[in-house]
Structure formats: structure tokens, C-alpha cells
Amino acid sequence: MPVNGMNTGVDYALFYFDGATGALVDLGDVQNVKIIALKHDIKSMPYNRVPRYGYVPDGFKIDFSITRTGAALEDFMVAASASFNAGAIQKPGYLQETIINPDGSISRYQYTEMVIFLTDHGEISRDKPVTLALEGMSSEKVPIA
């Protein structure tokens, strides 16, 4: 729950749904998530006015750090790669985010048209857990009821 008017990581729940099957993908033990809103800068420099600036939304980049607890995520990525190589149509999925706000209300969002890729399959060591890196790109963030 929120602590002293601030959100912490335990206030968030994240679920990824595969676009091809509609199945929930087990991400494993998600330890850290970084969500970055992407944009394009626009600029107009007329001779008779001061410059004007703006931003064009360009989706989201989402990076996950995951402690490996099983083969589900790696199996999903291997199957997705095989599907791509076989020429199957690739459908994006979506990430659902649920947040318990400090005032007790709940916010829910979907990151739509989302694709994921397991960029780091982990450093294997005898004395520490294996950490995976998953990267995602999404077209839009929309509120849901």
C-alpha cells in the first residue's frame, strides 16, 4: 500500500497479454520497471515572431528487470521467434497496469499495441539469481475502467 502519500513498487500490478493468443504471459518475478514516454520535438522559427515549440507523442518504451523463476517467459520468446521465422502474422499485445493511489483510489491503464523482446537472457552464476532484461514498446497508454 502507499506509504505516507507516496507510491511504491508494491502499489503496482503489471500483466502482459499476447496479441496472437490472448493469453496472459508469465513475466516471472518482476523486480524493476522503467516506463519512458517517447516524443518527437517540433519547432517553428518564424522571422517575425519568437520561436514556437511542441511535442508529438510517440508511444512508450518499457524496460523490465526480472528474476528468473521459471521457463515461461523464455519459452514464450522462443515460440514467438519461431512463429516469426515461419512467416506467421505477428500481433501486438498489451500491458495492463493497475495502481493503488495514495488516496486509496485505483488507476488502471493499458499500454496498447505492445510488443516485447527478451534482450538479456541472464548472467548465470552459482551464487546469485539469474536476472533477465525484457524490453517493450507500446503505441499508446489509455485509461480503463
Q: What is the pLDDT of residues 15-53, one digit of tens each?
A: 999 998 889 999 989 999 999 999 999 999 999 999 999
Q: Which residue has the higher pLDDT, 5 or 18?
A: 18
**Domain of 17, in residue numbers:** 9-143
Pairing of strands 140-143, 52-67: unpaired
CATH number, domain at 126? 2.30.110
Q: What pLDDT does residue 10 have?
A: 85
Alpha helices in 10-131 (DSSP H): 72-85
| 81 within a domain of the structure (yes/no) | yes
| 110 within a domain of the structure (yes/no) | yes
| H or E, element range at 127 | none
| 68 within a domain of the structure (yes/no) | yes
Indicate whether 145 pLDDT > 80: no
Q: What pLDDT does residue 112 have?
A: 97
| 4 within a domain of the structure (yes/no) | no
Strand segments (E) across the chain: 12-17, 24-25, 29-44, 52-67, 93-100, 106-120, 131-138, 140-143
Cα torsion through 33, 34, 39, 45, rounded to 10 = 170
Cell 495514495 found at:
102
| Predicted confidence (pLDDT) per residue in 65-116, tens digit | 999 999 999 999 999 999 999 999 999 999 999 999 999 999 999 999 999 9
Task: Count how many domains the chain has.
Answer: 1
Q: What pLDDT does residue 138 have?
A: 98
- Quote the CA–CA distance of 50 and 69 in Å, as a whole number: 56
Nine-digit cell at 84? 516469426
| 33 within a domain of the structure (yes/no) | yes
